[in-house]
Structure 1
Amino acid sequence: MVAVPIISRTKKMSKSRTLSINRQQLILHYLMLCQQYEYSVRQEGCYEFQEVIIKSSNNKTFSLFSGFRLIWTTGEGSKKSKLPSGSGLIANTKDTWKVNADHTCTKAIVEKLVEDLSSHTLETLRTTTAELRLLTKLNAKNRRVISDCGAISLLVNLLNSTDAQVQENAVTALVNLSIDNNCKIIIAQANAIEALIHVLQTGSPEAKENSAATLGSLSVCEDNQVKIGRSGAIGPLVDLLRDGTPRGKKDAATALFNLSLLSENKAKIVEAGSIKHLVKLMDPAAGMVEKAVVVLANVASIDEGRIEIVREGGIPLLVDAVELGSARAKEYAAAALLWLCAISSRFCIMAIREGAVPPLVALSQSGTTRAKEKARALLGCFSRNKLV
């Protein structure tokens, strides 16, 4: 609980009082008022000036929000209140009032939350990580402030928490922070990769999803592709691809795709047993054709990948994707087939028997630029082998 001094002033009275409220309620109230939301007040009453005060760790006092709040009166004589000069926090938009975020106040709240991340009290950690999770979700400015206040390294430490709620909140806050490119660097520098692998192996289903999503976000950077590939993350990602929730499988596939852009990771992805699961996910009923085929296309560039794709029955599903997939799925399916057929006339024959020629002809005329190139190259490959 936090004691929040409230100064209430109306036409008839002016006095201070202290109200104890749940800190989660304060944060949610702040977010509703200060994150660019509009609200209308349509109640009977009078003009009321209200100011909510919070204190930062260094005892500096900041105003959470202030200004005259418009309280509607009924019948004759309804009026609108005037803003106090220099307030700047509340802007009149006719019947609606817009509250703009105050950077100083946001920083003060975040500083207190970051301080509480070092608490030894479980309930404090649960509440604090939940609040940071919510703040990181809302906008880029919050993410920058939270990063600047040093929250990332503390959140990374909490990935090793034995409490499922704390761990889940911490990893979700990190995946939200990883949207910011600067935060990606800080998260990686905080040795988060090993801790994220720990969450992949031990966390709740949602924690595993968000751990995979964080690794996927970090692996956009080539340096992180190297670090993640060498850290042992590929095996747990493949495990999630096999056993995870639908969302977890998608997050794992996204991370594996990014990692497969680096040559040294391709063999590791194949050796971890991913091909069998990726081929299964090519079934349209799984809703993951595009997610799966882009990884298959990348690993089809190495011998081990090609062998496993054919062994697991991937050619018929790749032909189906060329015919029925999204534009991106068609493009990558054609690329995967080209890798297969360019090195083996036997694979060419298998593709033709599955009915590859008609959809490839259509793709060569109406696909994306890259898809047209791959389709024409495949048809040329069939022709050179005197198969069409």
Structure 2
Amino acid sequence: MNPVERLGVAALHRLPPERAHDLSLTLLARGLVPLPGAPVTSPRLRTTLAGLDLPNPVGLAAGYDKNARAVDALTRAGFGFVEVGAATPRPQPGNPQPRLFRLSADRAIINRFGFNNEGAGAIRDRLSARRRGDVPVGLNIGANKDSADRAADFAEVTRACAPFADFLTVNVSSPNTEKLRDLQGAQALAALLSGVIAAREGAGARPPVFVKIAPDMDDTALTELAAVVLDSGVDGLIATNTTLSRAGLTDAHATETGGLSGAPLFDRSTRVLARLHLLTRGRLPIIGVGGIGSPQQAWDKIAAGATAVQIYSALIYQGLSLAPRIARELDRMAEDAGLAHLSDLAGRDAERWAAMPAA
């Protein structure tokens, strides 16, 4: 971080976490945050992800810009792609505050937001108004907490938003909507994805569809899920969402309920990523997310089987400049390793990561 960014991060940390989150988005949306403009790119970094052309493989994970308030700014922040949301059919306030906690001692956060968002209509309108450029923008989609038919909710958001999103992410793995993770079961997931694919076709647009999964699935469940997604017609996977595990935490906020993200998630999520790469035999691209806070960790995700990576929690501690820094370092590391392209690294260490014992 440069001195100005370091001061900015320190100032935000003096505020309650959710207030700091909202303020940072407001500053971005109003053009008050210095940004690099064009993303870092090179022939080694340019990546094809389910038909999308990425200037570099370092993306922003969903959850930061839930309502697509600062999309234009975020596409100028150095990311190779951006994901906003999650969007549900109807607006909902989410869970009561406080619901976001910094675990500074563990370089982590816990959130129990509960899909708070302004609804698919408002998010669709913002996505339709954005400036189209070289940085793809995707939408994470979910279901309303009080929905009687959650699978239908996913299809409804798809119909509304597919023409305006460069990709869609089916989020069946958030731990903050009761029983949402039940939709990761083979039968329920197959039916849900069939509805989403049909809704995409009916919307007259074909953005790639990814499925975002939890890091807490056992090997049997992962095997069943891999079989479903290979038969479903989806275009890729995102591994992983937040975890319910609290293993090894030391911060005073460790007992808060919600999903844990950040540094403690790295090994767990990377093991799941590698298992999915092997189970799908490399037939589906995987976005690796969970605990990335350095160029080496982004490199390790790709070596474990990722085509691209996403970051979020580490930005809270290291600032937005982390994204272009990781991209530049990945380019240098690939050059030093004699790789013509980062894709030559993908999956090299999958067997080793997959063999790690579950945490």
TM-score, normalised by the number of residues in structure 1: 0.27
Q: Which has the higher contact order (CA 8 A, sep 6+)?
A: 2
Higher strand share: 2
TM-score, normalised by the number of residues in structure 2: 0.29
Higher helix share: 1
